[in-house]
Structure 1
Amino acid sequence: MNVARTRARGTGGGVADVGWSWRTVSSGGVKYVMPGQAQALSCGGGGASLRSGVQGEVQLTIRTLPELPAGAKYQCVWGSAPPADALVTATGLTCMTPARAFRPPIPPHHDHVLVPLAVRSSETNKDFVSRNFAFYDCSRHNTCGSCVRSDWACNWCVYENTCTHNASSCRRTVISGENNPSQLASHGSGFCPRFRQEQTPLLAADGAKSELQLLVENLPVPRVGQLGFQCVVSIEGATMLVGARVVVEDEDEPEGGSSSPATTTSSASRPHHRRVQRVVCEPTVYRYESGEGEYEARVTLVWNRDHVVDARPLTLYKCGVLGAHRGHHDCSLCVTRHPRYRCTWCGAACRYAPHCPSLPGVAAAATSAVAPLPTGAHHQEAPATASDARLAQCPTARIDVIQPLAGPLEGGTLVTIEGSNLGLREEDVRDNVFIGDVPCRVHEYHVSVKITCVTGPAPTQGGSGGSSQDLQFPVSVTTPAGTTKSTVKFTYTNVSVTGVWPTKGPVSGGTVLSVSGRFLNVGSNVSATLDDLPCVVNKTQSSSHRLVCVTSRMSPSSSEGGKEGAGLPRTARRLVVQVDSAVRVLAEPFTYTPDPRVFELKPLRSPWSGGRLMTVHGRNLDAIQAPRITVLLHDRILNSSACRVLSPGQMECPSPHVNRQVLMALMRERRDADAADGAKAEKRASHKVSRSPRQNYADSVLLDVGFIMDNVASVRNLKHVLHSSARTSLLYVLDPTYKKFPNGIKLYKGDTLVIEGVNLNLASDESDVNVTIGTRQCNVTSLALTQLVCTPPEGQPPPTDELGHATDTGLPLVVVRMGQNLRFAIGHLRYEMIKEYQFPPEAIGGMAFGGLFLVLVSMVILVVYRRKSNQAEREYKRIQIQMDTLESNVRSECKQAFAELQTDMTDLTADLESSGIPTLDHRAYVMKVFFPGVVDHPILADPKLRMNGCSPAMDSAMVQVNVASLLVVALTGRMEYMTEVLRLLLLRLIDKSVATKHPQLMLRRTESVEQAGPSLFLLYKAIKHQVEKGPVDALTHDARYSLSEERLLREQITHSYVVSTDGGRTG
């Protein structure tokens, strides 16, 4: 018997140990034990329960029940029901169960509800013990299995198809529950009509007519007037009612006995074969709309329309989805599916085999589609030769995804290749994956759709040494169907590390380091270490030029002397960044400093809205890059705010905002939790000083303060370091409230400005408050509990708010800011000061503006005049300088030209005098004038004796010309006669020309015998001498002393005369 002990006061005032036990006496009740109760009552063998619709008695058996004082009673307390007096019996106590109105309803999908039952003494009004009591309802079960396996005394009526506690209500077959003390002949779930447990998975192809076969046992035989069996198939919320028939067959009994519990009682008389019941659902087409490859439907076997026998899952599948990856049909994935799916590749897609009429043997496959497969037949693997034959029909591989697309030159990158038709087995692709010509070692393989391989080092350039340039290669995969190369290329990159920031951090670690470099986000595995201390890489915040990692704590053994803080600061000798197989080292990148410490925090008051600037004094505060101040409730962070480091010993932090309602709810929750534990409540009551949070009065709470400084744990809560609560706690008080000006506008008459409010100085002083009038400051001179006094500027500020935005009223806005979080718009301020002059300010402004305008116009005119004068003077001086320069240049050139002319004339005359004018002798001159082109003529020969002979006629033009020349030479002394002859010849030619239409030529040559050579020679020599006395361009023939302006060489070229010699002779 389970016994729980409690203490009760006896009649004599002493204390006695009393043993308790209880039992129910109502019909239909069972004993039930609830585990896990530290102190509980016991009922007979273990617990208590009662049918939910029954009100009965619960009897508690007590071995030694102490007597109560006069007038005191024992009471039974049922949950929230009023206490009921217990009846003292000879064996203990008897309690009545509460009325149904005080019982909670049984939740849906449950068959019981638990109600706590406690025993109480009216003298002390305290509960001795408590135990859960169960009220159950058997009718909540609608199947035989759940009914008989329940924790209560339930029975299943087979033909009534109901679960009940009263077995006598069943007319025919009754199966008693496994927890029912009254065990009938049919006891336990082994006698329930159900499916056999050793069946293979039930499969049906989507869109194919399938015949479902279900192995069952203990089926009832429908009586007269009852309907037979039917299969109810539930698919995506819809149900199908399919007719069914029962087939009874003989099956050999396997050695080891039957699995049915119903036959275990007569093993001695067990036959060697048994009758097997099989339910066959009519052939039906099943479909589902989901895009998944498999969908789990449910088949429920019912009889007599609503009597449920059992239910089991039915797997519907689509070969088109099972044989596809990423929306693409995959032949290799299709043919490697388990043979039970009967998927095959045909028509460039994966299909259910009976739906492929072009395949051989389909007729047999279609026939077997509705025939039952033997048990275990679905799990037989296809022979390897059959797989190879099916693979021969598959297309080449296709590569869809390569991840990552870059890695270091040293290799070691884990590359994932996804696609389709990537082989049937790992052996198909092993040693057949390459990046360019570099093998990629297969690390992991998923049939047909995914290959994970490790890259090798990049090929070297030039045959020696490593490559420092980025290299790109396609990824190729070779399968028995062929080789496929990716269109996207994998890049080998040269990873580099150039720097790190920050360069120091606390010894506790947690510093976020930013490592700069190139290609730091490539590869599959990136790690970093500071000497031998790991730096945890955050890949989500890293990029190609930035690697983010968090430093780890440096253990005391890592520092000198093995003591924490000894040998600090300590500089890490190197930062090692490893990207796959690439290792890069940075020398002396980081310094470990002692953890920061906090000595003082002030001020120690803050409004609920926070934002008050507090000064923190400590040591090594600059080792943290982003410190934050926190407020805590029982070591639970309520809120935080960012701090600003001013120096290694000082920083500024705004007080965090605290939600008052949330804080109060957390405090109430903590008080309720503490009140549940009586021992803790008494302990708290014995102490007058409570721990955080400390509530001094209704509107203020004292909260602990801490700091988030990387991984430094010593400052997480200052109360664990600075034990004085006066320096480690922050008092949160009510926010100040500043009242607005009446009607939104206040008149200012030249005195101080007073702003009314409430709780103005509870958590602030003059330095925390900032008052602005428009964009001008109002100097705060006094801050009291209900008043703020400040001195406005002498003149009325512009009509704006503190940010410079114009107001609607045309007056400056008065704004009070307290800290960083509180802002109060008080209203608008209008200046009404005593005026010394009655002259309208508009007129004064107009006059001032007019005078200013005149002054500006005069200044502009003066500036323009001065500018024009200076410009004219500068222009005059510039022209004068140019004229002087030109005059000087002309003077110099004239002097030089005159001198050169005198020299040139002297040189030319001397040259002509020395060389003279070249002339021909008389003989040569006569030949060139009268007989051009004739070298030798008989007339010039020596006279000889002429012999008689014949000469040819003068029929040649050349001969005629020569005769004419000879006649002219002969008649040179008789010019009158020669002229007459020429006149007669001319008249004859004229007459002849008149008679004919063709003109005639008399004088074929008209050379002058005048001597023109000397003048021409002198002209040639003069021009040549003039041109050649200066430089001449060899390509363009432009000359410095050219006679033509078009051929004048205008550039000043430094030149010198060169004398050419050839063989010692002057050229």
Structure 2
Amino acid sequence: SCVLLRADVCVVWCFSGGRRIVCVGSGFDLVQRASMKVLPSADDFSQSPPIEFIQYAVHKNDTVLLFDSPAVNRSSETQSFRTFLQLDKVEEELKTFVYHPDPFFNELTKNIITETIIIVTGRGFSKAMTAEEAQAFVGDASCKVTILQDDKLFLEAPSTQPRARSKRQRRDTSSDPLDLTIKFGNGEWVVGSVNYERKYEVPLAIIIPAVIVPMLLFIAVSVYCYRRKSQQAEREYEKVKHQLENLEESVRDRCKKEFTDLMIEMEDQTNDLSEARIPFLDYKTYTDRVFFLPSKDGDNDVMITGKLDIPEGRKVIVAQALNQFSNLLNSKTFLINFIKTLEGRPDFNARSRVYFASLLTVALHGKLEYYTDIMRSLLLELMEEYVHSKNPKLMLRRSETVVERMLCNWMSICLYQFLRDSAGEPLYKLFKAIKHQVEKGPVDAKMKKAKYTLNDTGLLGDDVEYCVLVSTL
């Protein structure tokens, strides 16, 4: 006995038939004759008895039976058919098959193959076959069906031009077009003819000269241009080298001349300084100029001369008041509060603060340690104030407070001896050298601009024609 376990069938067909049906079971070797028949359902036929369509097994072994779907009478409408599997005299009914009309193909719109994809249009493709079952041929070469849609079929064309399928076309060398054939099961359709784009092969005897001759010509032209550019570069190099040598020689001569003139001028300046000596100011004049701003009647200034114009009757009272005030200045607490009180007044402007700091410096000049202690205390308070309420970077940039001016005066006192013993002489020499260099060229008497100056804003931009005048006295 044989047993049918499973029949892998699809219920959708085309009238041409040919779709593969697989029946799986056991004991099929005992069957002498296996066939599959279909007949219209009771609703789809009017003849009696109905027409049967039979298809015998194409392959058979003990466990598998292979059939192709039977072809039926063609119609323009979808029909349903009852299906029976007949094993010798045993018959078993399977699923009902639905047969659709054969697919319809449109004419090819592109007959020349220039790409790898061929697109065939029509309708009813997906109802007839799947992409794996469908077959396509260009000539005698098979095309792979990549995508199958109901209205489009995408084929992968052979990479090289195949031969024709019929012997007549092979003998007829003048027939270049190749038939494009689509096969769905038993149905076969020629949807059009295609041509491969002609690729003309140029003989090797023409290719080699056509490539080598231009290459040799290009190499020759490149060598010629390279040699010409090299010679031109060598000439330019020699020219630039000669110009550099001339420039070096002129610079060398000028440097020698300028160095000689400089040595002579330095010797003259040194002799002048040795003879005239450096005009150092005495300590009193130095402090007067640093502490107090110059006035029109500087010789009669009370702060410089120290002489007070006081009536005779009040001299004793004024002298006693000044002594008492001097004693108060020796009190650190009083002096600090006195300075803070004055700075808190709105009419105590910057000029008054400078003047007061200078007077305080003169009054405490004999007590520099006490003066330094007062200044240190005020500086600490100023630093704390800038850190908490102001920008610390702006501290000591301007003498806006009494302590800042006191610091300037204190540094001027400490630097006097150093300037006189060490730094004064080189600074004065530098000043005289710069002045001498500026006076070597023209100087604008009104605008004070000079041709030779270290100040960019004071540079005399225009070229002025001038001559040196020598006056004899």
Both structures adopt the same fold (TM-score exceeding 0.5)? no
Q: TM-score by structure 2 length?
A: 0.38
Which of the pair is proportionally richer in strand? 1
Which of the pair is proportionally richer in helix? 2
Which of structures 1 and 2 has the larger relative contact order (alpha carbons within 8 angstroms, sep 6+)? 2
